[in-house]
Amino acid sequence: MNKNIPLICLAYIFFIFFGCDNNDEPITPITSCYISNDYHFSGYINGFSKTFVDKNQNYQKYVGSTMIGGEEPIGRFVFGIDTWPLNIGDEAIFIYTPKVNTKDANEIASIFPRGELNLEQRKEFKLFYRTILDVNNYQSERFEGKFDEESSIEICKIEKNYSSNGNTNYKIRMIFNCKLYNEGLIGESKGEIKSGEITGLISIPV
């Protein structure tokens, strides 16, 4: 047996651990943010597992278009999962974007950079969680989710495509955590959403 083999092995191990140039850039880990391509919401709302999937039962994607929120063309978009027809107990999730130029597709895409958003990037996003209490009088319980210091948003993917009527559509996949409050400026704490994920669609009019 060649007695030099152990020395060769040690030299190889030394090269693997110490032979790299210290000036090499560190490898950025790939995000583990992989969620379903289907339009849906899933997560834990106040400890209860919830899943709302487009075309499952009476759930359907809520395709966001321009929302009131400023002088044209400045406004917000909203997307999420809703129900129709409405039944008592139906739940829905809506995500409101920050104010943006609603005519500028590139500017709209820029508010969804892939990866985890910092506080400055996410603080103008809003979430609304609704439960139907009375169908005839359209009474509901609405909680607002705020993306403050105790929250997180990670953009998994944004896909651009075009609809048959020429609108520019963005399919957005994101995961998030947020606290829930009574709707209003001074909302009482109403729990939290943990491990939330949503695949939604916004549509930019021609």
| pLDDT at position 14 over 90 | no
User: Which one, of 182, 181, 114, 186, lies nearest residue 147 by Cα?
Assistant: 181
Residues 168-199 as b or e (16 or more Cβ within 10 Å = b): bbbbbbbbbbbbbbeeeeeeeebbbbeebbbb
For residue range 89-132, list pLDDT tens digits in order. Answer: 999 999 999 999 988 999 999 999 999 999 999 999 999 999 99
| pLDDT at position 21 over 60 | no
Q: Is residue 75 part of a domain?
A: yes
Burial group, residue 99, by CB count within 10 angstroms (0-12, 13-18, 19+): middle
| pLDDT at position 184 over 80 | no
Q: Is residue 136 part of a domain?
A: yes
- Among the residue ranges 34-43, 48-57, 69-78, 156-165, the one predicted with the least confidence is 69-78
Question: Domain count of the chain?
Answer: 1
pLDDT band at 158 (very low <50, low <70, confident <90, very high): very high
| pLDDT at position 13 over 50 | no
Q: Is residue 158 part of a domain?
A: yes
Q: Is residue 9 part of a domain?
A: no
CB-based contact 128:64 (threshold 8 Å) = no
Q: Is residue 42 part of a domain?
A: yes
* Average pLDDT across the chain, whole number: 83
Q: Which domain holds residue 119?
A: 36-204
For residue range 44-61, list pLDDT tens digits in order. Answer: 999 999 999 999 999 999
Q: Is residue 8 part of a domain?
A: no
User: What is the gyration radius of the CA atoms in the chain, in angstroms?
Assistant: 23
Q: Is residue 97 part of a domain?
A: yes
Reported pTM: 0.80
- Return the SS3 of 119: helix
Q: Is residue 17 part of a domain?
A: no
